[in-house]
Structure 1
Amino acid sequence: MIRRKLAGAQAARMPEGGAERGWPLALARAARDRLTLVVEAGPVKAYRYSLAELLEQPPERSMIVLLEGPRAALGVLILSPEVLTSLIEAQTLGRVTDQPVPARKPTRTDAAMVADWIDLVMSYLEDTLLTEEDLTWTDGFRYTSFLDEARPLGLMLEDAPFKVLDCMLKLGDMRDGRMILALPADGHGRRPQRATALLSSEVDQEQRFAANMREQVMTAETEMQAVLQKLSLPLADVLALQPGDMLALPLAALDKITLTGIGGAECGRAKLGQSRGMRALRILDAEAAPSAAASATLPALGGFDPGDAYAGDGLNFQMEMPTADDFLRTGTEG
């Protein structure tokens, strides 16, 4: 006990660690995600304080949030009046104003409005420290209660050294405030993950994402067209066409059907025939289609040789095909 008190007797500036880098990121992410508020944290200063020194830190009329962690350990998060007022304004007004901060003590309503945001900050801090040694003393702390003055802290907190993160915040470019995080130096949280374990987890996440993306894409509907022949005409001739006019298709052949996708990109060739009384296409080759044989089933239309029937399998494409005579007339849909 004497050694522990001596260790915290003097405030000592701690070397920079992962918590100093992760704390501003956690504050900014939580403010963005929960409050749609831009928060910028100034340089974070890390200290090691005794309980007596910690009790001298809270600014006047600050909200002192009690955080409970592993093995019932207690820590504190101190919000200056400027920070508390800005968080309340962001939730009630949708923005931070430049009005003077009211001279009042924090209330139970104030605590209820910032509790979820505080838990999110602590969760994000843990996420940034998964491979850092600082995870041990920052892990597992969540909101449990609040105080409107510092005097009861001397009875509630253990008389032991605390690791402290102290920084200034710029909230919505309208107001500056101070925030202090103090947690027991003897942490009892999770040990940091090894880099290999984290890498494996990231690989698993990427594989799951790729599988989910593939499932969504492969089940999506797309449109294909079967083109008998493309014909180019002068614009004047096209505008002069009338119902009943005949168009010559010298290169059209039922065994040389071109499959096109969205935008007219060619994706394969097929042969026109029948299957079970329905118009069908036998895929001859496909530049962007699966290698398995595929057929397309269409509504029955007369005029085709039964000898051209095919019983295809695999990927089915539904499309509309006119008769051979309809291909030679305008005013029809192909």
Structure 2
Amino acid sequence: MTEDQQQSVMRRKASSGQPAVTLAPVTAARAIPLALARTAEGMGLPLRVAQLRESRMVLAELPEALEEFSLLAVIEGPKEGLGLVALPPATLAALIEFQTLGVLARSAPAPRKPTRIDAAMAAEFIDGALTRIEAELSATDEAIWAGGFRYASCLDGPRPLGLLLEDTAYRVWQADLVFGAEGERAGGFLWAVPAEGRGQRPAAVPQAAPNPVRTEEDADWTRRMEATLMGTHAVLDAVLGRVTLPLAAVLRFSPGTQIPIAADSLEQLQLEGHGRRILGRARLGQLHGFRAVRLADEAAQPGPARAAPTEFDAGSSPIAARPAAPPPARLEVAEPAPRRAAGA
């Protein structure tokens, strides 16, 4: 018996009776650190998660968990669900430094308010981490709340959170990060998504149906229809509210005049087409720094009736105080005398 055969027999004998090695189940507590580390590794930046904490918070508690001058990224998920990713100043500075300089300084710079350029540079890291978290948890039940979220916009501060996010319970993950091969820098990471998941449970992928045979005539009709539809313009008006005022009040308008509207107008916008036809409802928000409207779910239960606007004091009419203009003078024109014939 050769030496290799002897070693193989000895290995089999030594391993006999030992339990089979089983892989630990994939959980969010394992997927999140792994996703963060691999996302940073793809950028060339060494990253390690020193500690990870999970908690449940309501919307009013979220601002208290945010560090000052953090980059606040709104993320959008399934069924119009919105969440939040917060990068503290130390984390944002490490990402920006490594992307611009390729190295990390020994000490972090002084905290500053993040800019739109910072958000654009950090969006790749945020989307990369969310994509990997979704991939790690895609075959588990946790994919219901963890999957499908991507970067949507950033906020200038935590004040708009109460307007943009839903007033519901949130699943919050907070991580302590260590950057650099020798742990030169420290940072943090916060990820908050609705606790009640809106995604779909993992299921077997159905077999795709075979594509039907298309003739050249069908393809030509499709191209012409697409060109017609894409060249059609439709105007939609997002109506915040309508107020009927007397002409006397309109004549008194000046810069700073306040027009009363319903208290719930921000949540009950109406989308109207031609002829004021109501096509749907929406709520006011923002996207990439611009004003935007989010379509409401028409299948949801109808909300309460819109509150009536406050009373508008029109004041006295400025026209009534003016003296009445005198009637115009009547101009009378005398008829010319008839001409006499020559020689009469």
- Relative to the length of structure 2, the TM-score reads 0.50
Q: Does 1:182 align with 2:192?
A: yes
> Residue in 1 aligned with 2:71?
63
CA offsets per residue over residues 103-155 of structure 1, 9 Å max, x none?
31000000111112211111100111122221110111000111132111111
> Residue in 2 aligned with 1:207?
none
2:129 to 97, 103, 121: 121
Q: CA RMSD in A?
A: 2.0
Identity within the alignment, %: 42
CA offsets per residue over residues 185-237 of structure 1, 9 Å max, x none?
1111131357xxxxxxxxxxxxxxxxxxxxxxxxxxxxxxxxxxxxxxxxxxx
Q: Is the 8 A contact 1:67 1:145 kept in 2?
A: yes
Mapped to 2, the partners of 1:28 and 1:108 lie a distance apart of 25
2:34 to 25, 30, 52: 25
Q: Is the 8 A contact 1:41 1:168 kept in 2?
A: yes
What SS class does the counterpart of residue 78 from structure 1 fall into? strand
What SS class does the counterpart of residue 144 from structure 1 fall into? strand
Instruction: Report the Cα offset of residue 17 of structure 1.
Output: 7.9
Q: Is the 8 A contact 2:93 2:108 kept in 1?
A: no
- Unaligned runs of at least 5 residues, structure 2: 1-24, 205-344
Q: Does 1:37 align with 2:45?
A: yes
> Residue in 1 aligned with 2:154?
146
CA offsets per residue over residues 47-106 of structure 1, 9 Å max, x none?
111111112111011001100011111100010000000000110011221233233100
> Residue in 1 aligned with 2:117?
109
Instruction: Report the Cα offset of residue 166 of structure 1.
Output: 0.8
Q: 1:130 to 1:177 in 2, by over 3 A?
A: same
Mapped to 2, the partners of 1:72 and 1:157 lie a distance apart of 10
> Residue in 2 aligned with 1:266?
none
CA offsets per residue over residues 241-269 of structure 1, 9 Å max, x none?
xxxxxxxxxxxxxxxxxxxxxxxxxxxxx
CA offsets per residue over residues 255-287 of structure 1, 9 Å max, x none?
xxxxxxxxxxxxxxxxxxxxxxxxxxxxxxxxx
Mapped to 2, the partners of 1:107 and 1:63 lie a distance apart of 8
1:168 to 165, 170, 176: 176
> Residue in 1 aligned with 2:93?
85
Mapped to 2, the partners of 1:158 and 1:17 lie a distance apart of 29
Counterparts of residues 1-334 of structure 1 (less than 5 Å): 18-33=27-42, 35-172=43-180, 173-193=183-203
Q: Is the 8 A contact 2:177 2:187 kept in 1?
A: yes
Q: Is the 8 A contact 1:43 1:168 kept in 2?
A: yes
- Unaligned runs of at least 5 residues, structure 1: 1-15, 195-334
Instruction: Report the Cα offset of residue 174 of structure 1.
Output: 1.3
Instruction: Report the Cα offset of residue 21 of structure 1.
Output: 1.2
Q: Which runs of 4+ in 1 moved over 3 A?
A: none
- Relative to the length of structure 1, the TM-score reads 0.52
Aligned length: 180
